[in-house]
Amino acid sequence: MPTVMKLKKQKYFCRNCHSYTTASPYFIKENCFISEHIKFKILDLLKEKISYTLIAKLCHVSITTVIRLLRSLEPYVPNNRVKASLPTVLMVDEFRSHVTKEDKMSFICADGESGKLVDVLPSRQHDKLERHFNRYPQEALNQVHFLVTDMNAAYFKLTKTCFKQAKIIIDRFHVVKHINTAFNDFRVKEVKRLKKNRHLIEARKIKANWKLLLKDYQNVDWTSYRSWRSFRAPNYPLLTEGMVIDRLLSYSQKLYDTYHCFHNLLNAFRSKDVALFFEHLKNLPEHLDEEFKQKVQNLLNYETGITNALIYPYSNGKLEAKNTHIKTLKRVSYGFKSFRNMRIRIFMMNGLIQIK
């Protein structure tokens, strides 16, 4: 319940200097109507993934008061230019900010070893990133030995302009996602071709069981027999996952060949066999779909980054987790109009703002 305390002024007269002094309590500042306890409670709630409206309702204050207290924390945001240091492994990524004046995609970077947030910038454009990182001394830029990123070309340019001593590491998740997307696009294309050729039943079965085709071949179950929606009894006996996959692949020779090439690439990548992975990538069969081959062989442009990803243990997993928390914060807050407010809350969520 909201508590209202009525304070009466008490003045003291000094007989030496002949002046009056008004007594002030410790729990409220002069000319202020909100106690310090409420303010600290608001600051504590700002660390959670809840909206300004809920915080204002819980503390019985206005939304303007909550935003004003949030803005008062801006001097406590860590200033990287003062620290003049950067981590050895720097993870970089972007997230959609949806603010009014800045770019829609914002930039975020963190320490690849500890996962500690380094900075959040309003834009991911190369010229703005270069301008920001060039504020660091050259010694700090040379401390970055690895730059972990996705396949965004703007981040590759940073190694030529700012982090000249750093090696590019392509995040392994994005490589697997790229291969999966290429195969899934081919599967959709093959389903449409079967429908066009009046093979409607086969096309529906491939469409309904698409997850089995993407499943890791080493984890396919070959022992447990059960019924399947696409292969109902009594027309079909009980089948295992492996037997269902074999039936699906028998409907299309192109799908059969592409499926095995797809899993050969993934098995070599998961086993971190660099030579075998690029051997499969460079020597794809000629009879495969040209569009699939073109998408998959596009990875050859990132050979150095993928090789480093298979050699070194670093990835963008910790940074993707932070992006997930940011997405949750944006969803419960119904978006942010100000990038400054969002940046302060991101640092508060990560426990990097120390209030003294």
CATH of the domain at 19: 1.10.10
Question: Quick one: what percent of the chain has pLDDT higher than 90?
Answer: 63
The whole-number average pLDDT for the span 121-128 is 89
Residues 27 and 69 in one domain: yes
Residues 45 and 88 in one domain: no
- Confirm whether 355 is domain-assigned: no
The whole-number average pLDDT for the span 282-303 is 93
Higher-scoring residue by pLDDT: 97, 65: 65
Residues 295 and 204 in one domain: yes
Backbone angles phi, psi at 50, to 5 degrees: -135, 165
Check: CB of residue 12 under 8 Å from CB of residue 21. Answer: yes
Residues 115 and 56 in one domain: no
91 DSSP assignment: E
Q: pLDDT tens-digit profile of 320-344?
A: 999 999 999 989 888 888 888 999 9
The whole-number average pLDDT for the span 114-134 is 90
Question: How far apart, in whole angstroms, are the C-alpha atoms of residue 351 and residue 8?
Answer: 39
Residues recorded for the chain:
356
Give the pLDDT score at 68.
Answer: 94
Give the pLDDT score at 83.
Answer: 62
- Confirm whether 182 is domain-assigned: yes
Residues 246 and 199 in one domain: yes
Which pTM value belongs to this model?
0.84
Residues 183 and 164 in one domain: no
- Confirm whether 1 is domain-assigned: no
Q: Which residues are CB-neighbours of 151 under 8 A, at least 6 positions away?
A: 170, 174, 178, 302, 305
- Among 48, 75, 102, identify where a domain stops: 75
Question: How far apart, in whole angstroms, are the C-alpha atoms of residue 96 and residue 87?
Answer: 25
**Domain span at 37:** 11-75
- Confirm whether 5 is domain-assigned: no
What residue type is assigned to position 16 of the chain? N
The tally of domains found in the chain comes to: 3
- Confirm whether 2 is domain-assigned: no
Higher-scoring residue by pLDDT: 169, 83: 169
3-state secondary structure of 320: helix
- Confirm whether 349 is domain-assigned: no
- Confirm whether 211 is domain-assigned: yes
Kindly compute the dihedral angle of the four CA atoms of residues 326, 327, 332, 337, in this order, to the nearest 10 degrees: 80
Q: pLDDT tens-digit profile of 238-275?
A: 999 999 999 999 999 999 999 999 999 999 999 999 99
CATH of the domain at 149: 3.30.420.10
Check: CB of residue 73 under 8 Å from CB of residue 343. Answer: no
Residues 263 and 215 in one domain: yes
Closest CA to 213 of 238, 237, 189, 246: 246
Residues 256 and 280 in one domain: yes
- Confirm whether 22 is domain-assigned: yes
Check: CB of residue 168 under 8 Å from CB of residue 149. Answer: yes
- Among 58, 75, 92, identify where a domain stops: 75
What is the pLDDT of the chain when averaged over all its residues? 89
> Could you tell me which residues are beta bridge partners of residue 89?
146
Give the pLDDT score at 178.
Answer: 95
Residues 294 and 194 in one domain: yes
- Among 43, 59, 75, identify where a domain stops: 75
